[in-house]
Structure 1
């Protein structure tokens, strides 16, 4: 055992038993078998090629490489969670990789590699190029004049394009691949990839646009400008201007509207052909135009578009709501939807709306008859306008009630009693104010008092119509 470098620490136990000894080479205490030592194997497990690693020595090796262990030693080839003492990044290198000379922190390794590449490039730039004269002769074929020393085939080389006189930065290997020498010069007549800032601003000013920021160099990017025509701010692109598009959308819409504008003489002729005599100058086809009906003498305000689509005087119309026949304002409620509705309809025959709504589950609460539909229409519009201004939106949707859904309201906010009082209030306010025919007053105070009657159907229970959380109406 002493010939193999082992000093026994206890009496000989036998050839096949473990014998406690100290290895003089490393100083570690080992338990070797005499039979193995005699064959030349198993002398010291700490000095063997696959010897186990001491956790303390492994931790010291990690700290020496700049990695502070955060967990106990897991094994030489197992990931070991550590923190880099330089940048603080937590990584999982292995003890075996550190032992082989690899780095422990990946971010620091990439940074060092990048710095090494940068230093190598700097050294190459500092060295004079022997092929600079040949490259200068080569780029003369492309009408380029060098303005700086030759940096190499893959580096940017500042030159001047003698054809257009602009300074450009080119790579020699791009010229050898067939790319253009100057990005400002078009490859074909009428085409250009890049526009200089001064020419780009001149193009925008020619299109009546004043740039509010510098040109970004990208022709497809929005460019904040102010229209010199209308003064509005807009953001067109240089590519749109080059393609002939307008810079200011408002001015473009005005020009398009002017081209579509109807000749006033033609518009007057169309109104007269429909039996309407204009009382004011023509503005647009979608603007109400005050006219007088040559048949009944009433003043109406249709649009030219409606007249061209077959419309005419609303008092002489043979379809829809008859403004000259007797009519009524009705108040209905729907118990299932908890909704109330105000509307107008004829008393019999054409446009009798109450019977239609009853088939859908509506119940008539109260109605007010009038001599003409003009009176009923004036009261209905006044009530609806008042409710909209008070913040009441339609309660039902078009899917639930296709016809008349905009005239429905939440019965918890607008009770039938409150809505009936609102109708009677506007009946009194509008008395004697609507005069569709010259010299004839449609609304008269005495007629309102005689036509206001009690409810023709039962109201909902008072417990359901108490109007909790009701918005102020008056």
Structure 2
């Protein structure tokens, strides 16, 4: 039986009923269709099949952000009560469900950075009480024994990326201490063998694999290495749903970053650029001069670090982002961000100076060219 053909009138009516007004002729059920959200007025390009058959929202911008915000919003008193119920005493006002919240363990008095969303999902145990806490010296010894030389201080959590240099090949990476403790040497430049996924991965192994490849899981692990896992890229903040079993062996698992057409093993550079009108600073990785020309006249190049491999520049970029966000320096407001630079790779100069950003990179990469 032949599939039912959707006419343009039927397609337009279906999108109008779901809160969108088409701005062009119907291209087909499987092609992007330029539409305007009737709620916020933003223009998006959803697919008819995703909207009608899969139930995906038409608006992937403001409306989606509002829905997520409303779903995660909690009253500060209720949030504090939840933390106390799980054995944590908040030390500062409630920042939001998914944001770091400095708290003290009610049992051992250790101060930790927790997130209400993690605590509510069952990740509320104190690693000091469980005997899993590691000091900076012990953590550095584990990395050194695995032939990895840390270039920065211990980030304080085993699941956080740690900028390190491989003592075998000299390339940089950001492995987590958890992955190093679990599998030993973790350099994806000299270790061509794929991450062993022939056997099922437990949750700790799977999360370590995702974080090593620059992805932050947004939902619990299903236990199936062949099932899509909704995650967010730690470089560009784009959401995707990769399959854990297909990630190993690929330097960048994020489809947005992969489209940059940059070879991780060839020479590349990390550069900083300033937008004077927005009072913003941005950073990115490139090979050759075409990228600097493509960012537009609004961005003024500030500094550049040439490296033997582009993957080393990516590692320095992730370290820079981690340091800035950890010090409370937010990106440029998304509504004001210029399209020439990825929004997630920017920082407002209202919270940090250009010299301060340059020093963060120079501390690990040396003087700029």
TM bracket, shorter-chain basis: 0.3 to 0.5
Structure 1-normalised TM-score? 0.28
What TM-score do the two structures reach when normalised by structure 2?
Answer: 0.35
Question: Which has the higher relative contact order, 1 or 2, with Cα contacts under 8 A spaced 6 or more apart?
Answer: 2
